Amino acid sequence: MLSRAVLPLARPNVFASASAVRVSALAAQRPRWYAKAKGKKYDPKPGSTIKQRVPPAQSQGSQESQHAKEQPEFETAAQPEAASSSPEAEINETPSKPLPDLTQGIPSTLAAELEGRHRKTGGLNLTEDPTQSEEYSETDGRGGGDYPKGGYETSLDRRKARMANIMYAVMLATGIAGAGYLGRNWESEEEARLHPQAPSGWGIGLWYARVKARLDGLTSYYKDPTFEKLLPDEDPSQRQPYTLVLSLEDLLVFSKWDREHGWRVAKRPGLDYFLRYLNQYYELVLFTSVPSMMADQVLRKLDPYRIIRWPLFREATRYKDGEYIKDLSYLNRDLSKVILIDTKEEHARLQPENAIILNKWEGNPGDKTLVGLIPFLEYVAGMGVEDVRPLLKSFDSSKGNDIPAKFAEREKALRERFNKMMEEEKKKKPAFTMGSVISALGLKTSDSGAGSTEGKMPWDLLREQGQKNYELIEQQIRENGETWLKEMAEEEEKARQEQMKSMKGSFTGMFGARSEKDKLGCYLL
């Protein structure tokens, strides 16, 4: 743009230069005439005038100025152009960019490609040099210009592409064959019995069900519990008939972290009374989704006397849809006599009819939820309910915090009916009975029916007996608790020593070392 602006100033007589160019052009076309006329001199006659044809420069400039006024978007001033340019000027025009030095190696085309993309994505600018537009830009990248994209590929590139196509075909064929193999019919009746949702047969739906069942079987090692029977087989007469499964996090304990103290774990109020009282009615099981390496340390502090018989950790849960589920069917117990107390409905998704869902305990020191559940749980086990599931459904166990209040209302209604029946029976009985005569003589009667005569319901008597058993357990813990803890510590230390001894024996056997007894036997031989 600067060269175009300076050009008219460097050439003051534009029209004279134009006429000179025309004369040189005519001389080139007629060399003979120019050679003959070159030596002659033109001598004009006196009084004659020379007529010279001058182009209408002023009229042309006025037209250009008028055109510029009609188009205000042109910000540059109109400049007169030369009539023509010589071929030598076009040939000798210097390039816009310096040529690369090929003696230093072939330069990278990355900068040119990026600049070309920038020019393509840029907006239209009417003031820029037209030689920098897309029409004059060189091809950037492979595959442009006069050569097709395949012209830049080497034999190695074509070989790689061919091998990739072969690999894709092999993978597709392998996938189809594998899917067909996984969808085959079951080979034995035992497999068909284990997968009732995917029976044998022909059909796309059945084939897909068998493929899914076999794929799930491959991942079952990581998703299913570690054992098919989480609790051992026991004689029902040697244990409590009912099983109470308890969660750990947000039910029995509350964990909190702060910058001053780090992690702190709080025990729920009334937990010791809850466990020791219900231990006489239920087989207590701890079932948590926390890993064993973390939960075991908490359990040792929470229950040092091992009131909870069976601890189960995350390894015993079932992983499904991103949740750890507590599948009670793996407990090896009758589900009609199993109750699960938890704070998450997702944990009891497979057996919701066996679960009591409580609100999460957030560390409130005045909480009495666990103690409030004791009368209901004592009634279930003490009265010998055949199936706990219908009873839990009647209390809407999904809202476990309401169970103590609902049970108290029902107990009050039953007590009123019971007292009314006792009053009617007293009216029907004679005034003098054998029991009254014996008591009048100062003798003691049998305890049978004593509770009924005093207006006590059957579970009142059961509650009194349970309270006596709890006091007996507390007395034994106070008297023998330290001895029990010492014996358990000795057993753990003994087990640890045996484990270390077995590990040392395995290492020495691996490296070929012999024990003293083996060496002595060799010497005797």
Per residue in 157-189, pLDDT (tens digit) is 889 999 999 999 999 999 999 888 888 888 888
Please, which residues bridge with residue 249 across strands?
A: 253
Q: What are phi and psi of 396, to 5 degrees?
A: 55, 70
Assigned token pair, 128: 């820029």
- The 3-state secondary structure of 17-37 reads HHHHHHHHHHHHHCHHHHHHH
Q: What is the DSSP string of 463-493?
A: HHHHHHHHHHHHHHHHHHHHHHHHHHHHHHH
* Closest CA relative to residue 401, chosen from 377, 369, 362, 361: 369
Q: What is the DSSP string of 138-193?
A: PP-STT-TTS-GGGG--HHHHHHHHHHHHHHHHHHHHHHHHHHHHTSPPSSHHHHH
Handedness of CA 30, 36, 39, 42 (dihedral sign): negative
State the amino acid at position 31 in one-letter form: P
Burial class (CB in 10 A: 0-12, 13-18, 19+), 205: exposed
Query: What's the CA gap between 414 and 409, in Å, rounded?
Result: 9
Q: 428 pLDDT band (50/70/90 cuts)? A: confident
Asked if the model's pLDDT at residue 355 lies above 70, the reply is yes
The pLDDT value recorded for residue 99 is: 76
The mean of the pLDDT values for the chain is: 76
Beta pairing class for 253-258 and 282-287: unpaired
Least confident window among 197-201, 217-221, 438-442, 500-504: 438-442
Asked if the model's pLDDT at residue 513 lies above 70, the reply is no
Angle at 247 between CA 246 and CA 253, to 5 degrees: 115
Distances (CA, A) of 503 to 214, 257, 293, 490, 500: 38, 38, 21, 20, 5
Residues 6+ apart with CB under 8 A from 459: 378, 379, 382, 383
Q: 23 pLDDT band (50/70/90 cuts)? A: very low
Q: 106 pLDDT band (50/70/90 cuts)? A: confident
Query: What's the CA gap between 410 and 408, in Å, rounded?
Result: 6
Which of 109-118, 242-251, 317-326 is the most confident on average? 242-251
The pLDDT value recorded for residue 1 is: 45
Query: What's the CA gap between 365 and 354, in Å, rounded?
Result: 28
Residues 6+ apart with CB under 8 A from 367: 268, 269, 270, 361
Q: 245 pLDDT band (50/70/90 cuts)? A: very high
Asked if the model's pLDDT at residue 294 lies above 70, the reply is yes
- State the DSSP H helix or E strand holding residue 310, giving kind and residue range, or none if neither: strand 310-312
Query: What's the CA gap between 41 and 247, in Å, rounded?
Result: 126
Q: Which residue has the tokens 């009591």?
A: 356
- 440: Cα within 13 Å, side-chain hemisphere: 7
Assigned token pair, 43: 């001598």
Q: 342 and 355 in contact (C-beta within 8 Å)?
A: yes
Least confident window among 150-154, 192-196, 199-203, 440-444: 440-444
In terms of phi and psi (left: phi > 0; alpha: psi -120 to 50; beta: otherwise), the region of 384 is: left
Query: What's the CA gap between 327 and 175, in Å, rounded?
Result: 34
DSSP state of 407: H
DSSP state of 249: B
- State the DSSP H helix or E strand holding residue 320, giving kind and residue range, or none if neither: strand 318-320
Assigned token pair, 21: 């160019």
Query: What's the CA gap between 177 and 171, in Å, rounded?
Result: 10
Query: What's the CA gap between 180 and 202, in Å, rounded?
Result: 12
Q: CA-based Rg of the chain, rounded to a whole angstrom?
A: 51
Query: What's the CA gap between 342 and 251, in Å, rounded?
Result: 7
Distances (CA, A) of 89 to 84, 129, 145: 11, 18, 27
Neighbours of 352 (CB within 10 A): 15
Asked if the model's pLDDT at residue 70 lies above 70, the reply is no
Q: 26 pLDDT band (50/70/90 cuts)? A: very low
Query: What's the CA gap between 256 and 262, in Å, rounded?
Result: 8
Average pLDDT in the 108-126 region? 61
End-to-end CA distance of the chain: 111
Q: 319 and 325 in contact (C-beta within 8 Å)?
A: yes
- The 3-state secondary structure of 440-465 reads HCCCCCCCCCHHHHCCCCHHHHHHHH
Asked if the model's pLDDT at residue 325 lies above 60, the reply is yes
The pLDDT value recorded for residue 236 is: 80
Distances (CA, A) of 250 to 213, 215, 322, 353: 35, 35, 20, 21
Asked if the model's pLDDT at residue 358 lies above 80, the reply is yes
Please, which residues bridge with residue 357 across strands?
A: 342
Q: How many residues does the chain have?
A: 525
Least confident window among 99-108, 125-134, 365-374: 125-134
Query: What's the CA gap between 274 and 219, in Å, rounded?
Result: 39
